[in-house]
Chains A and B, each alone.
Chain A
């Protein structure tokens, strides 16, 4: 029983952590090497990891996808510890629209134009911080979605994830509130109601016991003394 509970709890932490890691914004230090557009045919497996057609357009089973090809500085520990090596990374550039994930991004074309304007070579690199969410997976052919780029001086920039700090503070506050509200509900509403129900049940039981004893006495009156 304890193992099952532990496994379920671990599974829940993994799922919630995975969703947060996918959806929350992350920052990469990159150099854009090129931009491209290619046609994609989604499958049932990787369709989840793409947004819908650009806002205002019709949804078709197949469509063009904007990509930003980059050379990215590698990191450890979810991007917190920069390394001295570089690797390639490809970002997609799609509108998220109004619903999910809630980035409310409608300016994919503009972002593509910005990315095209800062393409640089290894000899004269133009370093950028790219904000994105999502995962790169080569087996599913999925890409993180870039939401913004801004130029920086060099690859050694300190990035403070303000949004995530505020988000986790808010999440903590929400959890504390839900726990307090539940405790209050139990103390003031649930427990008194259960107590009242318990008392009612005791009364009913006592009533039944008394009636039975009356019945017993009547039966006794017929027995031979």
Chain B
């Protein structure tokens, strides 16, 4: 019963963390794209800027960095398995 509780509430908790990190990461990437564009094209066209940022975000959505956020689920699971092993096998 305790195990089911751990899995259910652990999953909910980690999902909240996952959402927060992915929103943060996306926001940081967008800001970086905007700032870099502004530095390269001072007084540039708004439409071109939006297109540049949108293209950059598409690249981000399919990139490796975004997939790495899934480690939020992997690391605690591995940690728990390790603690479980170390506590009970020794």
Contacts and interface: CB of A to CB of B under 8 A. Distances in A.
16 contacts: A55-B2, A97-B2, A98-B5, A99-B2, A99-B5, A102-B80, A102-B83, A105-B87, A106-B87, A107-B87, A110-B88, A148-B90, A150-B90, A177-B24, A180-B24, A189-B27
A97 B24 CA distance: 35
Contacts of B20: 181
B54 interface: no
B38 interface: no
Interface of B: 2-3, 5-6, 20-21, 24, 27-28, 30-31, 80, 83-84, 87-88, 90
A201 interface: no
B20 to A, nearest CB: 6
Contacts of A107: 87-88
A103 B90 contact: no
Given A55-B2, A97-B2, A98-B2, A104 B88 contact: yes
A188 interface: yes
B87 A148 contact: yes
B84 A188 contact: no
Given A148-B87, A177-B21, A180-B24, 6 more contacts: A98-B5, A98-B6, A99-B6, A104-B84, A105-B87, A184-B28
Leading 6 A-B pairs by shortest Cβ distance: A98-B2, A104-B84, A181-B24, A107-B88, A98-B6, A97-B2
B2 to A, nearest CB: 4
A70 interface: no
B87 A104 contact: yes
Contacts of B30: 188
A20 to B, nearest CB: 17
A26 interface: no
A147 interface: yes
A150 B90 CA distance: 9
A188 B83 contact: no
Nearest to B6: A98
B1 to A, nearest CB: 9
A188 B88 CA distance: 47
